Amino acid sequence: MNDFLRKSLLIGIGVTIVGKEKAEKVLNDLSKSGSAASEEVQEYLGLLSDKGKENTNKLRQEAIEALKDFGFVTRDEYAALKDKLSQLETEIAELKQVSHDPHKN
């Protein structure tokens, strides 16, 4: 499932990039042909870039939410669980030693 979500995210980013590249080509062609002023083209390219970044961030956030919905944990949550497990294993080992040591009772 993790591979599926990763591929889906990459496809979404790829679609965004391809769309941006096509729009840049059209705007540059308009500028070269004189149909649009260079300043206008640069302004549109800036807006397009900002929108692309916004969409990429939105897509990333949606992917994170989807992973949470599937029950995946974040790296921080995983690290905290790993630390807690280690702590519990240590406590269990200590309790086993105490229960098996006849001199401690």
Query: Residue 105: its pLDDT value, please?
Result: 53
Q: Is 71 left (phi over 0), alpha (psi -120 to 50) or beta?
A: left
**pLDDT tens profile 41-56:** 677 777 777 877 887 8
Domain positions in the chain are: 2-72, 73-105
User: What pTM, to 2 d.p., does this model score?
Assistant: 0.43
**pLDDT tens profile 58-102:** 888 888 888 888 888 889 999 999 999 999 999 999 999 988 876
Residue 32 has pLDDT above 70, yes or no: yes
Query: Residue 51: its pLDDT value, please?
Result: 77
Alpha-carbon distance of 31 to 25, in angstroms, equals 10
Q: State in Å, rounded, how far the first CA of the chain is from the last one.
A: 51
Residue 12 has pLDDT above 80, yes or no: no
Where would I find the H helices in 1-105?
A: 2-33, 38-69, 75-100
